[in-house]
Amino acid sequence: MTVGNVTIGEAARRSGVSARMVRHYEGLGLLPAVARTESGYRQYGEADIHTLRFIKRSRDLGFSMEEIAELVGLWNNRRRTSSSVKRIAEKHLGELEQRIADMQSMRNTLAHLVHCCHGDARPDCPILDDLAN
């Protein structure tokens, strides 16, 4: 579908991000400066909305704003190498895997503590004992 120039609200709706985030991304330089009407209203075109969707999908995958800035730059650079993109994605994947491992360890520890706690009227509690160490 071809999109003519639309307001920030319509660009937000079509891209799935809030108008506040559209302004934020523009302020960070992730979007090029957009056209404005004579009265100063921002006007977004099809390419802007596509970029906003790209940013949203990147955020959904947990990329940092710094990584997204790099990815947008690579996406817009027709002379990029896919190895540059893969390097960013591999680094992020490794970070996600480490966070998952850390969370699984926390889960296992907490599950063990919950299992050990009687949860009765006595004051003894292995959960509190562990937290106090």
Q: CA-to-CA distance for 114 and 106, rounded, in angstroms? A: 12
58 and 87 inside one domain: no
Q: Span 76-94, mean pLDDT?
A: 96
pTM, 2 dp: 0.82
What percent of the chain is predicted at pLDDT more than 90?
83
What is the per-residue pLDDT for 33?
Answer: 85
Pair 56, 7 in one domain: yes
Average pLDDT, the chain: 94
Residues 1 and 58 both lie in one domain: yes
CA pair distance 34, 37, nearest whole angstrom: 10
Q: Are 8 and 47 in a shared domain?
A: yes
Beta bridge partners of residue 43, listed in sequence order? 35
Q: Same structural domain for residues 56 and 94?
A: no
Q: pLDDT tens digit string along 88-118?
A: 999 999 999 999 999 999 999 999 999 999 9
Does residue 131 sit in the same domain as residue 88?
yes
Same domain assignment for residues 88 and 129: yes
| Ramachandran category for residue 16: left, alpha or beta (phi over 0 → left; psi -120 to 50 → alpha) | left
Number of domains forming the structure of the chain: 2
Q: What is the pLDDT of residues 53-64, one digit of tens each?
A: 999 999 999 999
Residues 57 and 94 in one domain: no
6 and 56 fall within a common domain: yes
pLDDT tens profile 1-33: 445 799 999 999 999 999 999 999 999 999 988
- CATH code of the domain containing 45: 1.10.1660.10
What pLDDT score does 34 carry? 87
Q: Which domain holds residue 113?
A: 81-133
